[in-house]
Amino acid sequence: MLTITDYILGSVGFEIPTSALSVILHNRGVAEGTDVSTLSTRTKELCVADALKWGVTMVSGTKRIEDKDADWSHAETIGTLLASDKSLWKKMADEIYVKYGESKISIGFKIHSL
């Protein structure tokens, strides 16, 4: 069985914390652990779009992890997130949102005069 969580994670090219996945599923009215074969294509695609939207909010740059213990140390750099990555994810999400009549991702704000 493929769960909706595994489907989402397999559809995007980045890690998503469990807390963010829980919010995405809650907002779409999907229970965690749901068998993806029981969901409509619309629901699956919109969950993926929401995950891509979440990815657009991640901080750009390189993530570095360091561990130290007495004389032992280890450092690891995990990928670089570029603005072009976020732009692509936004475009992919917006295409799904438009397909199903939802609003595109809005980044920033607009000032309207009275």
pLDDT, one tens digit per residue, over 27-43 is 999 999 999 999 999 99
Which whole number is the average pLDDT over 85-97?
A: 95
Is 26 exposed, middle or buried, given 0-12, 13-18 or 19+ CB atoms closer than 10 A? Answer: exposed
- Is the pLDDT confidence value at 86 over 80? yes
The H helix count followed by the E strand count for the chain is 4, 2
Location of structure tokens 């749901």? 34
pLDDT(114) > 90 = no
Q: Tell me how far CA of residue 12 lies from CA of 6, 7, 92, 113, in angstroms.
A: 10, 9, 10, 39
Q: Residue with structure tokens 């969580």?
A: 5
Across the chain, mean pLDDT equals 88
Question: Residue range 78-106: average pLDDT?
Answer: 90
